[in-house]
Amino acid sequence: MPDGDAAAGRQVFIDKKCASCHVIDGMEALREGLEVENTVPIGGMKTTVDTYGQLVTSVINPSHRIARAYRSEAYSEDGESKMRNYNDELTVSELIDLVAFLQAQYTEFPDY
């Protein structure tokens, strides 16, 4: 896949109202004016950062891997994520840009 444009991906995140369910540290203002349905954090310090492919899969098939913390009724139903299906709403370019934006939100803990 080609490199995405994180700034354009931020706009996709805004336009598709991803912040109605997802929150990013330091970007809480993205939730202003939205009806907040859930709070699923994106980004931050992690021991391992999701690969490009894992992030693409999370967007196009959010039920592929649901973390234990999000298996409750608020986030999933019958083992399926409640995240809306964006496959017919995102262009390939928008997906690439969105993933570039999402990747930029993660930082891996340094090795000691």
| pLDDT tens digit sequence for 28-41 | 999 999 999 888 99
- The answer to whether residue 73 sits within a structural domain is yes
The total number of structural domains that make up the chain: 1
Domain encompassing residue 85: 6-105
Q: What pLDDT score was predicted for residue 71? A: 85
- The answer to whether residue 1 sits within a structural domain is no
Q: Which residues, in sequence order, are CB contacts of 56 under 8 Å at separation 6+?
A: 1, 95, 99
- The answer to whether residue 111 sits within a structural domain is no
pTM: 0.85
- The answer to whether residue 80 sits within a structural domain is yes
The 3-state DSSP class for residue 72 equals coil
- The answer to whether residue 110 sits within a structural domain is no
- The answer to whether residue 112 sits within a structural domain is no
What is the arithmetic mean of pLDDT over 65-76?
85
